[in-house]
Structure 1
Amino acid sequence: MNRDTTELWRSLGEDPLLATQVLQVLIEKIKTSTSQEGSVTSETETDRHLAAAEPLSAIYAIFQVVSALQSSKAVQELLPELFPVLLQQVSRTLGQKMPLPVISSPSLGQRDRQHTEGNPCR
């Protein structure tokens, strides 16, 4: 990423409401890229590099937006959705299988959290 792109992402992170919306779009971009990873029909090296670079670019954008946020509340609200997506992408980049189940929706994550909070053995 160049300086102008970095500055653009940081400026989007200065407004907490806008930053929350941008982060949600970036999270969905990573999820979509991850789910389409196995469905790439072209086998050229260039296509594989572009497919791998897209989620990494989104992660860099997330870093810039989060770094510019003046309020951590926006990040805290998105953390249950953001953390598994980032962990999954790091695992995929390292060629490892993700040790946690994929949380596909916020309601599923909240339901799982409610079950584990009442039972300290989970």
Structure 2
Amino acid sequence: MDVNTLKRIDISQLPQSLQLLIDCIGVEQAYRLTCLFGGCPKYIPKHAERTRLAQLIPADTLKALIQRFAGAAVEIPKPDHFFRQLRNQQIQEESDLGLSRTELAKKYGLSLRQIGNIRRLEA
């Protein structure tokens, strides 16, 4: 997912655990972590050289994680939260363009009720 797409994310609508990660390392790196380790706890060591994370994420990101979470296992949320929010924004935009609930439900593989709920929430 590119940076411009991530800028569309409303951080306040994400789960608290994801908001904490974003506050610590930024939305781009938080998204990267969710893609790498989403749904699993990840131990954050006290020293950067004691983890494979050093090979997977930028040094400044690892440093920030260590400063905030050293010695703890952090539950990394799944990236679904990002995808769902962007999908819902797209549904709202297409709804504003005149697509019916039925068309949107077929396009996104959702029920009419789910489309209605999304349209109400985003309005």
* Fold equivalence (TM over 0.5): no
TM-score of the two chains, using structure 1 as the length reference: 0.26
The structure carrying a bigger strand percent of its residues is: 2
The structure carrying a bigger helix percent of its residues is: 1
TM-score of the two chains, using structure 2 as the length reference: 0.26
Based on CA coordinates, which of the two structures has the bigger radius of gyration? 2
Q: Which has the higher contact order (CA 8 A, sep 6+)?
A: 1
